[in-house]
Structure 1
Amino acid sequence: MQYYKVGNGSVVVMGDGSQSFDVEEVHNIMKQYLGRPYVWGGRKPAAGGFDCSGLLEYAFAQVGVDMYGTAQSQYNKTKPVSEEHIKPGDFVFFSTYKPGASHVGMYVGNGQFINANSSGGTSYSSVEEWKNLYPFLGFRRI
């Protein structure tokens, strides 16, 4: 598993082959939308942007993995992973505006996750910074 920044500042993530999907391929799909605005209910690029679950739903659909639904339904479709065993490709969940899972992103390594959020659109965020802002519901795996 690797996480590094190449000379042009882009993030490259390579999974270790233990996930049920190609982590790098899914990450590359999400990276195409970095900087796109947050759009409540946004599920496809044609919407102009994504919401958190929409970004994951769309990217995973491109590789044949059905993650259709809200952050809560994606939470329900995944299994918990202890923090000491997280890997790129695991999902990270928070409770932001209501009880239960209301925000989701994909862990990319080095304490970072890619997500669509209302303050930065599609971007990278720090797990620790989000833990200081919102109740952390944990890491989960498909």
Structure 2
Amino acid sequence: MRKLSVILIALCFALAFQVGSAFADSKLEETVKPLLGINYKSGGSTTNGFDCSGFTQYVFKKLGISLNRSSRDQAIQGKKVSRDNLRPGDLVFFNTNGKSISHVGIYVGDGKFVHSPSTGKSVSFANMDDKYYAQRFVTARRVMDADTYQEIATDPSDAPESDNAPADDSAE
């Protein structure tokens, strides 16, 4: 049974990171990949088990970015971004309890996000357009500036070449 689970997780991973996704081969992907399949644990924030915000906090801490602990508190960090302008590494928030923001995941591109869903489930990918999530989407936040995004959430081979020439101070 465990072997089947590993195969299914690998298949989901392969489908989620098709060639062309900005997320593929990024530091963010490298951080998320080994966490796939870790069980949900209420209040969890370690590899022994994650709740949704514990998962996002853990991933971003590994990448050198500090996030608040709860999904509601994470939803006020960074800058608001529209669903149409999501890019890998953005946090996506949902109202799953009928009251307020109660769930968070990390957008990975191509309409997908990774999260620690709920009791009895494990860290996995979901589709933003799935009816359940589409109806419950509340907001998204960008917690990485442009330079951090290039470093963490994109394939390094896709990064624009930098101009390493010294600045011309003679124009002052």
The interval holding the TM-score normalised by the smaller chain is: 0.7 to 0.9
Cα distance between partner residues in 2 of 1:39 and 1:124: 17
User: Do the aligned residues in 1 keep the contact of 2:94 with 2:103 (CA within 8 Å)?
Assistant: yes
Cα distance between partner residues in 1 of 2:110 and 2:122: 21
Cα distance between partner residues in 2 of 1:102 and 1:78: 18
Cα deviation digits, residues 7-30 of structure 1 (max 9, x gap): x82644535xxxxxxx92123212
Quote how far apart the aligned CAs of 1:98 are: 4.8
Cα distance between partner residues in 2 of 1:14 and 1:135: 25
Structure 1 stretches of at least 4 aligned residues deviating more than 4 Å after TM superposition: none
Match of 1:9 in 2: 14
What is the TM-score when the length of structure 1 is the normalising length? 0.78
Match of 2:7 in 1: none
Q: How many residues align?
A: 127
Point out the structure with max Rg over C-alpha: 2
Match of 1:37 in 2: 39
| Structural mapping, 1:57-136, within 5 Å | 57-118=57-118, 120-129=121-130, 130-132=132-134, 134-136=135-137
Please state which structure has a larger fraction of its residues in helix.
Answer: 2
Cα distance between partner residues in 1 of 2:124 and 2:53: 14
Please state which structure has a larger fraction of its residues in strand.
Answer: 1
Show structure 1 runs of 5+ residues with no match: 16-22
Quote how far apart the aligned CAs of 1:101 are: 1.3
User: Do the aligned residues in 2 keep the contact of 1:92 with 1:139 (CA within 8 Å)?
Assistant: yes
